[in-house]
Structure 1
């Protein structure tokens, strides 16, 4: 009896010979069920496509066996080529570029508008004393006094020129609203001025020396929200002071009377709605009476005054 043979031709598109050509292989099945594999005459020969990848990146089926049905079973692919295509081959040999985003914040520089700056105003870095007055506030620094309105410096002058027959340097200042006296203190010498038009005039009963009951040299004078006038020291002491009688009505520790007051206070603005600006040597804090504390962090004097 003659043996019948059935020919199956399987073409692997990614099977490439050493010369860069594609070849097909024939698996020949005999009627006895034995199989014999041999390379056939190439059915087609093409040059390697530049878009194809090497075997290690090509078809996922390479190296796996192809199971064919047993002899006698129904197979619609008998006598036909079975193509196993590449899995989405890349069309470029160039590696993909990685994309990433940065989470770092960009550096932002805030530039103040010219309308927030006074063209002729200098800018103090340190505060010697600060007080509000009739119409505007006064910031003393070394031998100069800066006139402040709405938290902006509008002009400056020498202390001796603005306050004639008075101090050259000021270490404490406070405004008595009831008597309309602006008190400035140099060391322990007290000067009281009244406004005459646009100028200040020294009252005839001044200067005075602080009483011996005030044992410290004041580093600040403030008018608290209860209208009491206080002299403060860097050592944490205070004295309730009346400039008219030149007497200390009470002394004690600042921490016992003032809650959460910043260190090295140099003065305070006028109270409005239970809040005031507290000036230290180099920072400005907003004090809230309802909270008995400062609100937020301190701001440097130049930044606060925008100068």
Structure 2
């Protein structure tokens, strides 16, 4: 494993992802832990996709969005975890320049898709609770499909431009990235050129894919809570709040961990604190999301029970 310095970085063709090399005695344990986490993410979100597609009781816009969100979760973690598991298993930390750029691009596109889809899901709940008479008219299948596609592709041109900008920098301090994936701030720390516009683009992305969606979410749920308090029965209020609380918990976990990680001072990238914080939004929130949605939703629990009952009958 060659660590390049300023003298031999004129033709950089690979990076070294430091990952968790600072704790070599825990490499095997971490591999086992992350394998279990990744398998649970695949199984949990895969189960959500299956039941939202197959169960007739879940053929509504809310579960259509939930199924697509679960699919994005699988893709989102698959941009990071398989590579990290390979590094932990083989102890080979090198990643090619192009592979690093591809990981950076795919991860940010999927992350932006998630934030926008969360806003769409909040809007869906707003229409369902605040405008129930027009719900089926507004949130028809054609509109739902368009909203999902728009959420997934809206970030592509912005992230593509950002990726080209980052990987056009001159890297002359080192080729060692102090992270477990090709994170933009960590890459910028290796540059000997001017990174001002790169830093501006980070804040621009935060506004486009973080601040604006969170404003829409905040507005939607403010209106929802006002409407819930106006419901005549306690049961109606409880049901409406239960439906929305799962979305709020998931959104809080994702936005909270991402904001804390990306607003850390630069010194945290050196100390490695940012790596720990990144684990929350790259692995732990996709792990917990299926549990949150299933444990707090009676319709999902019933659909899972019916699915396992069918599988049991097929085996017999």
Give the TM-score normalised by the residue count of structure 2.
Answer: 0.18
Going by fraction, where is strand more abundant, 1 or 2? 1
Structure with larger RCO (C-alpha < 8 A, sep 6+) = 2
Give the TM-score normalised by the residue count of structure 1.
Answer: 0.19
Radius of gyration: which is bigger? 1
